Amino acid sequence: GALQAVLTPNLDYPFPHFRFFHFFIVHMAIILTALYMTWIRGYRPTWKSIGHTMLFLNAAALVVGLANAALGSNYMFLMHKPNT
Q: Are residues 40 and 50 in the same domain?
A: no
- The answer to whether 82 and 76 are in contact (CB under 8 A) is no
Q: Are residues 51 and 69 in the same domain?
A: yes
- pLDDT tens readout for residues 38-58: 999 999 999 999 999 999 999
Its domain, for residue 84, covers 46-84
Per DSSP, the three-state class of 5 is helix
Contacts of 79 (CB under 8 A, 6+ apart): 65, 68, 69, 73
Q: Are residues 54 and 74 in the same domain?
A: yes
- pLDDT tens readout for residues 57-72: 999 999 999 999 999 9
- The answer to whether 41 and 32 are in contact (CB under 8 A) is no
Q: Are residues 78 and 52 in the same domain?
A: yes
pLDDT score recorded for residue 71: 98
Q: Are residues 34 and 52 in the same domain?
A: no
Considering its fold, how many domains does the chain have in total? Answer: 2
